């Protein structure tokens, strides 16, 4: 978690009666952090209660004291900090909070149910802004002024409707502990990938208040996660259109996409409505493709539920479907509004589907971040023995969170500079030229991460034969991948079939065969038209 210098771990804002102090104290106890409440600090500083200060000096004088105290605390306190209800309405405080967010901070808007918050605010008393007749009407007027501002200022939104303070505190804690990778795309909107337990709670915050209808596109196996997403969307007031698509590659067809378009048309989806994709890589690919093509592009959020989707398909803005001639040949570059990699979803993942995701994780290590390979080596036994039922709360959870974060950072670096795959981004295709051919020949019975693992060994053999790397690095590929339970050989098809498919791969340029190979760990290079005998010899070496 990035927290530069002496900055608060999080700042909590919200309406009077939202429970900022109560929830803030609970969270600080859970995390073992100091807690400060701006109102209490002000009373200490001025030596009297806030209502008294208000009466004696008026609101402008109070806001000046408040602003000064908030600015000092934001620059010299490393715990949890709760602000008074009206504090974020002051322009100087808004600027200070914007600087804090730019420095990696989290401003959490505690969104309480207005009725609950109103009752609490009146019960508590001592609130000068509610003094006089009809406190409820005053509260509602303030809410209507403040809610849009708080929504805009905060970069984390926590809905506490019907939650006990402990439940609300747990939500806040999960959001503080999550890892955030910012994907800054040239010539497209930037967005965040949030990794942690309970990140689905950000769904409404990312969608915002423009959409009326939300298409929830998901597969049957992830029903419990789509149920959770649907409940969150309904709670936030959206009309949810539930669309179930076939699992895996069977869902990535023009027939499935056409069925979704027809459904959106009959449900009256407009340009300001939105799509949420919940599932593995295939489901998020289809959801993104539908969002990119409906009305020439509507807002969408990816909620990947497999390791592979978290590290690969959901980030980077590539959307697509398959055709009879090949994989992902029809698609669009279209970035999501956000990606929510909720680690709770991995608890329902079978071991073999978790392991295939490690193929793409290892790829990012080979092309860019050697630390990923060290983590994989150090934890190979636990990763290979992954068991979803014991995953949450185990030491492995933090290891996996770091692997996802690092892999997404690698992807973000390549995508930011090159959304449309003209140069740098192509390095993400390490192992994919043969990998895609294997998937096609096996009629997609081979999972993507497994095919890429074999494809990387093939690329390493090719690089060795052409003098780019030594035999030790080829063996290192085999040992890392096999220690994780990934395949390193394949003999399910003839070289001629493979060659024909590699020529048709998206990475090919005209009739030129094009590979990504390494000339060292972390140093990928393009290899155009390698000698035919080396291409065949490398293939022979991965057949046993």
Query: Residue positions in the annotated binding site for Zn(2+)?
Result: 360, 432, 448
Specify whether the CB–CB gap between 434 and 460 falls below 8 A. no
Tracing tokens 């690095």 back to the chain, one arrives at 473
Cα–Cα dist 465/376, whole Å: 27
Among 11, 23, 31, which Cα is nearest to 155's? Answer: 11
Residues annotated in a binding site for NAD(+): 247-252, 281-285, 305-306, 318, 327
| Structure tokens given for 501 | 């498919």
Q: Residue 199 gets which letter from DSSP?
A: G
Distance of CA 185 to the CA centre of its chain: 15
In angstroms, the first-to-last Cα distance of the chain is: 44
Q: How far apart are CA 383 and CA 374, in angstroms?
A: 13
Sheet with 299-304, strands from edge to edge, namely: 179-183, 191-196, 338-342, 299-304, 274-279, 213-219, 239-245
Q: Which DSSP category does 238 fall into?
A: P
Strand ranges, E, within 124-199: 156-159, 179-183, 191-196
Known binding residues for ATP are: 17-22, 127
Annotated binding site for substrate: 39, 63, 85, 146
Residues forming the annotated binding site for Mg(2+)?
A: 21
Beta carbons within 8 Å of 36's beta carbon, 6+ residues apart: 73, 77, 79, 80, 81, 82
Torsion angle of the four alpha carbons 535, 541, 542, 544, in this order, in degrees rounded to the nearest 10: 150
Measure Cα distances from 541 to 9, 317, 526, 535, 538 in Å.
Answer: 52, 35, 21, 10, 5
Known binding residues? 17-22, 39, 63, 85, 127, 146, 247-252, 281-285, 305-306, 318, 327, 360, 432, 448
According to DSSP, the residues that pair with 517 across neighbouring strands are 525
> Residue 84: is it exposed, middle or buried by C-beta count within 10 angstroms (0-12/13-18/19+)?
buried
Greatest Cα pair distance, the chain, in angstroms, is 90
Q: How far is CA 298 from CA 274, 287, 290, 353, in A?
A: 6, 11, 9, 31
């Amino acid at each position: 978690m990035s927290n530069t210098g002496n900055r608060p771990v999080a700042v909590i804002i919200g309406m009077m009666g939202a429970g900022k102090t109560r929830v803030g104290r609970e969270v600080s106890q859970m995390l073992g952090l100091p807690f400060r409440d701006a109102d209490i600090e002000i009373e200490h500083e001025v030596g009297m209660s806030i209502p008294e200060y208000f009466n004696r000096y008026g609101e402008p004088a109070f806001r000046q004291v408040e602003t000064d105290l908030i600015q000092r605390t934001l620059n010299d306190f490393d715990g949890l900090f709760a602000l008074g209800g009206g504090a974020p309405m002051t322009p100087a405080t808004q600027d200070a909070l914007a600087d804090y967010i730019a420095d990696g901070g989290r401003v959490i808007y505690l969104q309480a149910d207005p009725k609950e918050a109103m009752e609490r605010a009146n019960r508590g008393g001592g609130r000068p802004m509610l003094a006089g007749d009809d406190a409820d009407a005053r509260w509602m007027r303030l809410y209507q002024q403040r809610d849009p501002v708080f929504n805009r200022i905060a970069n984390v939104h926590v809905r506490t409707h019907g939650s006990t303070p402990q439940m609300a505190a747990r939500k806040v804690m999960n959001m503080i502990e999550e890892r955030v990778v910012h994907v800054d795309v040239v010539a497209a909107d930037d967005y965040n990938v949030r990794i942690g337990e309970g990140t689905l709670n950000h769904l409404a915050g990312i969608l915002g208040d423009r959409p009326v209808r939300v298409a929830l596109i998901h597969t049957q196996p992830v029903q419990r996660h789509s149920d959770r997403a649907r409940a969150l969307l309904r709670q936030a007031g959206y009309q949810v259109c539930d669309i179930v698509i076939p699992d895996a590659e069977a869902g990535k067809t023009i027939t499935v996409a056409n069925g979704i378009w027809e459904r959106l048309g009959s449900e009256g989806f407009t340009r300001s409505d939105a799509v949420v994709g919940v599932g593995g890589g295939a489901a998020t690919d289809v959801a993104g493709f539908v969002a990119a093509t409906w009305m020439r592009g509507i807002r969408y959020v990816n909620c990947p539920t497999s390791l592979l989707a978290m590290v690969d398909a959901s980030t980077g803005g590539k959307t697509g479907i398959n055709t009879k001639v090949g994989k992902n040949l029809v698609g669009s570059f279209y970035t999501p509004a956000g990606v929510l990699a909720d680690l709770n979803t991995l608890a329902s993942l079978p071991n073999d589907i978790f392991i295939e995701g490690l193929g793409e994780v290892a790829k990012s290590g080979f092309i860019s971040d050697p630390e990923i390979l060290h983590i994989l080596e150090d934890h190979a036994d636990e990763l290979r023995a992954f068991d979803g039922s014991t995953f949450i709360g185990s030491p492995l959870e933090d290891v996996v969170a770091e692997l996802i974060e690092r892999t997404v950072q690698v992807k973000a670096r390549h995508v930011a500079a090159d959304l449309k795959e003209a140069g740098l981004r192509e390095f993400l295709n390490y192992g994919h030229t043969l990998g895609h051919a294997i998937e096609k020949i096996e009629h997609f019975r081979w999972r993507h991460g497994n095919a890429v693992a074999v494809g990387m060994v093939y690329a390493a053999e090719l690089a060795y034969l052409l003098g780019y790397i030594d035999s030790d690095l080829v063996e290192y590929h085999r040992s890392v991948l096999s220690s994780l339970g990934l395949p390193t050989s394949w003999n399910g098809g003839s070289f001629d079939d493979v060659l024909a498919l590699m020529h048709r791969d998206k990475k090919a340029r005209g009739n030129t065969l094009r590979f990504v190979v390494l000339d060292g760990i972390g140093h990928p290079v393009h290899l155009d038209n390698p000698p035919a005998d080396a291409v065949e010899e490398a293939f022979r070496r991965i057949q046993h």
